[in-house]
Structure 1
């Protein structure tokens, strides 16, 4: 494994940079981005915290659906972990939902952003909802690499979980599907290896249009 890949996989330092609400606020310099998105209350903050092994780095809002900023974290001084605002929260005012959709649409297609991967987090028990598929298609429209992270894999029965993962593979046939548990750490190593493979070759499947 190359030294550069090792440096990326082993998360040694994480620093909050800024919350972004427009192109003028994007941090400099431009570095590779791994962006995390998912429905409100899907456990996105817990996933991010378990990935970087810091309990309170990404904080959940006390009221689901409030977070609207795109939060940038600098990892190992060489790439950005980006926490996108949660979507699909029914009680959020219609005008706020519309503004968020416009904001996400801008970010998904932003030429200034050097996307490496976009990580779609779904509830392993519930599966992908229409709002997940809609946001997934938004990023795929711009040719972004997408990995599906089935969080809360520690819950539910084994047979139900197998069926849930199989369904995700059917719905997202060209994407890497990773079982994940923010509680137990299951899937963490697999996620890091997917984001930073030792060698990129034809077997590295990118979910593109």
Structure 2
């Protein structure tokens, strides 16, 4: 069933029709873009689908490079939507096969970015709907809560599970975030391949602009 186009949704789609531009990949805080635009960041475990979500939002297949190999995205990748906002694809966490020194470097970069980037307006924490919350996801939420960084939960790959399991995972997520001080109460169940939930996520991002 097609979504009904309301004035708000139409405005959101107009914003998202603007040109998406890859700006740069960075490996240190000193390399971050200097432009004063609001930013949103996508974070989550390795291979959770961060790049795929960004491609779905942009309606481009190769804007953000995704890989079936966990841990391949090792940089902070910056994209710009028109002249409105930066979208940041953060390195995935939890890839066990990466060398310890490399994992620590990624984790430190993620920590510095999240805690020091002043124009960061919202973090979208992606959770694989097939697995639900895992230990490192809880750790990430603890960090975001402790640093008062607003975040929204996005379930990914919901096309891979049935409706009953999806509902169960949604209930698990809502229960977990209900007592967390800076987690937004609305969650988004998405599929990058089927485009489930993508328009709703666009609406949510539009409010930040």
What is the TM-score of this pair, normalised by structure 1?
A: 0.86
For residues 142-183 of structure 1, the C-alpha deviation after alignment (integer angstroms, 9 at most, x for no partner) is: 221101000111122211111111001111124221111101
Match among 42, 49, 57 for residue 51 of structure 1? 57
Q: CA separation in 2, counterparts of 1:96 and 1:37? A: 17
Matches within 5 A, 1:32-181: 32-61=38-67, 63-110=69-116, 112-173=117-178, 174-175=183-184, 176-181=186-191
Aligned residues: 196
Which residue of the partner structure matches residue 205 of structure 1? none
Q: CA separation in 2, counterparts of 1:27 and 1:47? A: 22
Unpaired stretches in structure 2, ≥5 consecutive residues: 1-6
RMSD (CA atoms): 2.1
For residues 179-200 of structure 1, the C-alpha deviation after alignment (integer angstroms, 9 at most, x for no partner) is: 11101111111112112239x9
- What SS class does the counterpart of residue 36 from structure 1 fall into? strand
For residues 56-79 of structure 1, the C-alpha deviation after alignment (integer angstroms, 9 at most, x for no partner) is: 111124632132210111111221
Contact kept? 2:47, 2:67, Cα under 8 Å: no
After TM superposition, where is structure 1 displaced by more than 6 Å over at least 4 residues in a row? none
Contact kept? 2:20, 2:79, Cα under 8 Å: yes
What is the TM-score of this pair, normalised by structure 2?
A: 0.86
**For residues 189 and 62 of structure 1, do their structure 2 counterparts lie closer, same or farther at Cα, with a shift above 3 Å needed?**
closer
Unpaired stretches in structure 1, ≥5 consecutive residues: 201-209
- What SS class does the counterpart of residue 154 from structure 1 fall into? helix
For residues 25-78 of structure 1, the C-alpha deviation after alignment (integer angstroms, 9 at most, x for no partner) is: 111212100100111111221111111100011112463213221011111122
